[in-house]
Chains A and B, each alone.
Chain A
Amino acid sequence: MSQRIVADPERKRTLDRSMTTDDDETDLAVASAGVSKERSRPMGLLLAPLGIVAIAGALLVYYDSLALDPDVNIQQASALDWHTKLWPQTVEHLTIAFWSTVIVVLIAIPLGVVLTRPALRRFGPVVLTVANSGQALPAYGLLILFLILLGQGTTTVIWALVLFALLPVLRNTMVGLDNVDRSTIEAGRGMGMTKWQALTRIELPLAVPVIIAGVRTAMIINIGMATLAFLVGGGGLGITINSGLKLQQDPVLIVGAVMVALVALTFDWIGAVAERYLKPRGL
C-alpha cells in the first residue's frame, strides 16, 4: 500500500495541490472575467444610432424628392411644411411624452417604494390592479374620458398618458425593490443603518436597473400614444398622419409615420444608454 503511494509521487503531488490550492487563483480568474465582460461593448448600443441615422437619411432623401411646391400640390406642401407643421408638431409630441413620463416617474417610484414597505405591503396588489386597469382601458377611450373631465388641450393628453404609463414604472419599482437580496438589507440594518439609509443606500441603488427599464417602457409608450393627442386637440405628429389619411395623400402619411418612428427609436436608444450607464458599478 505504502509502496504504491511512493511509486506514484506525481499523482500525490497533484492531489496535494488541488487540496491546498488557495482560492486566490480562482479569484483572479473570476476577477478578470468580470473585467473583460465590463469592457466589452454591447454592439446593439452602437448599431442602433447607425440605423436611426440611416432611416433619417432615407426620409430626408424622400422628403427632398417630393419637391414640395404649393403651386403643384397645395395639400402636400402645406401638410409637410417643416417650419409651420413638422417641427412644431415634433416639439409638441416630445413635450407631451416628456411631461407625462416625468409625472409618471414622480408618482410611480415613490408609490412603488411606499407599497413595498412592510406596513403598506398589503395594499400593493390593490394598487397594481388599478394601474393594470389603466393600461387595460383602450387608449382611445381613456383619452375621451379625460377629454370629458379636463376639456381639450395638451394637459388632458398628458394626464391620460400618465395613467396609461403608470403601470410599468410602478410594477418595475416594486419588483426591483422586492428582488433586492434580503441579506444585504439585513446586513445594512444590522450595522445600524436607519430604514431610510437602507432604502436610499442599498435598496434603491440595487433596484435602479429594473426601475430604469420600467421608465424606458413608459417613455416609449408615451411617445407612441402621443400620436393620438390630436384627437383631443393636443397636437403632435399625429396631426400629420391624420392629414395624410384624411386627404389620401400617401407621402404625408409616410413622412408623419416615419417621423414618429424616428422619435421613438431615438428615445429608446437614449433609454438603453441610460440603462447601461446609470446601472451601479459592481452589479
Chain B
Amino acid sequence: MASLMFDHVKKRYGNSELTVKDFHLEVKDKEFLVLVGPSGCGKSTTLRMIAGLEDITEGSLYIDETLVNDVNPKDRDIAMVFQNYALYPHMTVYKNLAFGLKLAKEPKEKIDVMVKETAKILEIEHLLGRKPKALSGGQRQRVALGRAIVRNPKVFLMDEPLSNLDSKLRVQMRTEITKLHKRLGATIVYVTHDQTEAMTMGDRIVIMNEGVVQQVASPDVIYNNPANKYVAGFIGSPSMNFINGRVIEKQGNIYFTTDNIKLPISKDNTNDLKNYINQEITFGIRPEDIYTDIKQVDTNESLVKYTAKIESIENTGSEMFLYFSVDGEPLTVRNKSNPNIKVEQKITLYVDMNKAHFFEKESGTSIKYDRLLTDNE
C-alpha cells in the first residue's frame, strides 16, 4: 500500500480555464479519501491524473515518494474501478480478473489461485465462467471491484462506482466497499457526487467546486464546521438554510437581523461576530437544528422562538420536511413525522442558536471556522 502526494497540481484542457486549480494534498497510507462535488468540479479529472489517464499541466504527483507525472498508467501500480464498470465484454469473468495478472507475466497457477481467492472474497465464484453481458448490474460491479483487488495494487481509484446501481444495492455495496477497505488495508481514492457516500465511507472528504478544493476534513468536521457557505450547503440533506442579514449591537447584546426577524446571538458565538457589527453576513442553520417541540431538546438556553406559517410539507414516513418562507427566503425544518402538523398552519419554531453558522457575505467564508478548528484540537 502507499501514500499519494499532490504538490500544487493543476490541469488545463487546451486553452480553456483550469479544470483543477492548485490541488495540494497528501493522501496517507491506508486512507479512504473521498473526492466529492457537483459535475464538472474537477474530481474525476483529479482521479484520472492519479491513474495517468490525464496529463498533469503543472505541479507534481508522487506515489510513495516517486514522481509519477510522466509514468505510464501501466507502470504506476494502481487499479481503477470505472463508473460503467468497463469490463471486457468478450472475456469471461475469470479472464477479466486474470487479464492484468497475465500481462504482469504471473505464472498460470498463481493467477488461478489469486483469481479464485478474489472471487471468493466478492462471492462471485459461481460467475467465473460467465461473460459480462450475462451479469446483473450488481454482479458487474463486483467483478469490476475484483479486477481491481486481484492485482493487489498500491492505490485503488474508484470513479463513481456505485452510481449505476439501484438505491438498495448502492447502500449494500457501500458497506461492502468499506469492509473491503478495512480488510485489504488499502489506500483508496473514491470519487462521487453523492454526499451520503462521501459521509459514510470516507476517512477524509475533499469537497471540490469549480476546480477548487473547498475543504479537506473528516466527515464529522465537514458537517459540524464547514469552512464556507458552499460546503455548508453541499453537505446535509435537506441543505442548510441561509438567510442574509446584518449583525447589530444593542445594549451590549449582539443580534442577527433582517427586515422581519431579530435573533439574539448565543453566548458561544458572540466573540466571533464582534468584528462584524453593522456588517452584512449570511446566517446558516441546518433543518435539523430547528425544532417544533421544545421537549425534543435537552437544553433551551440557546433556543430562540419564531412563529411562522407552513407553506408545504414533504412526508418521508419517518420524518417530515416543513417548508417556510422567511423574508422571501426559503427555510426548511426537519421534524419527526407528526399527523397533527398541517399545511397553512402557524407553528412555533425553536432555533438552536448554538448550532448556527455565520458566513462572510461576499467570500462565503465561515466566521466560526477558525475557532471551532482550534477548539477541536
Q: Do A and B come from one complex?
A: no
